[in-house]
Amino acid sequence: MCVFNTASALAGKSESLRHEPISPIPQVMEVDAVRARLGERLFYDTRLSANNDLSCASCHQLDAGGDDNVTVNSLLANSQYALNTPSVFNVLFNFRQNWDGSAASPQQQIDMAVKNTHKFNNKWSNIIARLTIDEDFQKNFNATYADGLTIENIIDAIVEFEKTLITPNSRFDRYLRNDGSLTNKEIEGYTLFKELGCVSCHQGTNIGGNLYQKFGLFYDYLAERGNIQKQDYGRYNTSNREMDKFVFKVPSLRNIAVTAPYLHDGSAKTIEQAISIMGKTQVGKVLTDNEIELIKSFLNTLTGEYKNRPLDMHS
């Protein structure tokens, strides 16, 4: 085991957290560096996909927000899985994976990505066969895992790599740690976020990612948008319970400024639109331009650092 450090953690800052419903991203994660490196190679490896043309990184781009900044990836368009790509950063702080929480664990999410026809469309036996003839991979797996190259170990290595995909040190987290300040406007935006009740769903380490909620509590946005598809039914697709129609995992708002477009269908092109829709659908309020602007300025403080560099949009 080794410890994954970030600059501030090395500097040994004292921890005196503000009492808020949001907690900072940890600056230190325990990571097995050898397994994580194997996982990193797999994350970029197109041999995981049936046609040898796609890797995890094709859709989850780490030099940007961990997503692809398109409404729906062209590979998924016109399928019942036409969903906006969520960021792969900080996913281990989510209680379940996928928009509708259909993966109970990060391990299950990877298994789904490999098998699903709309993603890698592959079989594990095929992946094992391809990697087995790669002597370097064989050697690395044998050196790292007692039982060498197995499905479980491939998944384990990728999950270990996901532990390194954290984005600490956003301006908001520094503020929470009493290690930086926010402008009056940003504080006003955060106060409004709490007063309106946004924080009742978007809270915890990921400012979301820890509960299910119906999308459209006060206003039926999906009916207004029209053309309701299978993927719009959310959790209902896996539970078949009437009460789970249009229920989604509350998504994380970490790095939200760099992960446009928004919502499971990617239908909100700008952060202003997303905030305005949330006002109507989730807290039953038509927000003024000024309120939207204030909340936006708070959300902009949630952009963290990956490899000690602030995240950015795609260019």
Interface mask toward ligand HEC for 174-203; x: CB under 6 A: ----------------------xxx-xxx-
- Asked if residue 233 binds ligand HEC (CB under 6 A), the reply is no
Burial class (CB in 10 A: 0-12, 13-18, 19+), 243: exposed
Calculate the dihedral angle through the C-alpha atoms of 271, 276, 280, 286, rounding to the nearest 10 degrees. 160
| Residue whose token pair is 């989850």 | 60
Instruction: Name the one range near ligand HEC by CB under 6 A: 78-86, 132-140, 170-178, 300-308.
Output: 78-86
Residue selected from 213, 297, 301, 303 as contacting ligand HEC according to rule CB under 6 A: 213
- Asked if residue 113 binds ligand HEC (CB under 6 A), the reply is yes
- Residue type at 15 in one-letter notation: E
Calculate the dihedral angle through the C-alpha atoms of 96, 79, 257, 13, rounding to the nearest 10 degrees. 30
Instruction: Name the one range near ligand HEC by CB under 6 A: 23-31, 109-117, 125-133, 300-308.
Output: 109-117
Q: Quick check: 60 and 68 in contact, CB under 8 A?
A: yes
27's tokens: 């600056």
- Asked if residue 155 binds ligand HEC (CB under 6 A), the reply is no
Listed residue (283, 288, 145) closest to 221, CA to CA: 283
- Asked if residue 86 binds ligand HEC (CB under 6 A), the reply is yes
Residue selected from 34, 50, 70, 75 as contacting ligand HEC according to rule CB under 6 A: 75
Task: Return the number of the residue (64 or 196) whose C-beta is nearest ligand HEC.
Answer: 196
Polymer length in residues for the chain = 315
Dist. CA 4–CA 272, nearest whole Å:
35
36's tokens: 């994580």
Dist. CA 4–CA 1, nearest whole Å:
10
- Asked if residue 110 binds ligand HEC (CB under 6 A), the reply is yes
Neighbours of 195 (CB within 10 A): 10
- Residue type at 149 in one-letter notation: L
Instruction: Name the one range near ligand HEC by CB under 6 A: 29-37, 98-106, 140-148, 168-176.
Output: 98-106
Dist. CA 255–CA 62, nearest whole Å:
12
- Residue type at 234 in one-letter notation: G
Instruction: Name the one range near ligand HEC by CB under 6 A: 14-22, 26-34, 237-245, 249-257.
Output: 249-257
Nearest distance in Å: CB 28, ligand HEC: 21
CA 237 vs CA 203, 231, 233, 241, 262: distances in Å: 26, 8, 6, 9, 21
- Asked if residue 94 binds ligand HEC (CB under 6 A), the reply is yes
Nearest distance in Å: CB 183, ligand HEC: 18
Dist. CA 199–CA 204, nearest whole Å:
9
- Asked if residue 215 binds ligand HEC (CB under 6 A), the reply is yes
Nearest distance in Å: CB 134, ligand HEC: 17
- Asked if residue 154 binds ligand HEC (CB under 6 A), the reply is no
- Asked if residue 36 binds ligand HEC (CB under 6 A), the reply is no
- Asked if residue 207 binds ligand HEC (CB under 6 A), the reply is no
Residues at the interface with ligand HEC (CB under 6 A)? 48, 54, 56, 58-60, 73, 75-76, 83, 85-86, 88, 91, 94, 97-100, 102, 106, 109-110, 113, 119, 158, 196-198, 200-202, 213, 215, 217, 248, 250-251, 253, 256, 259, 262-264, 274-275, 278-279, 282-283, 295
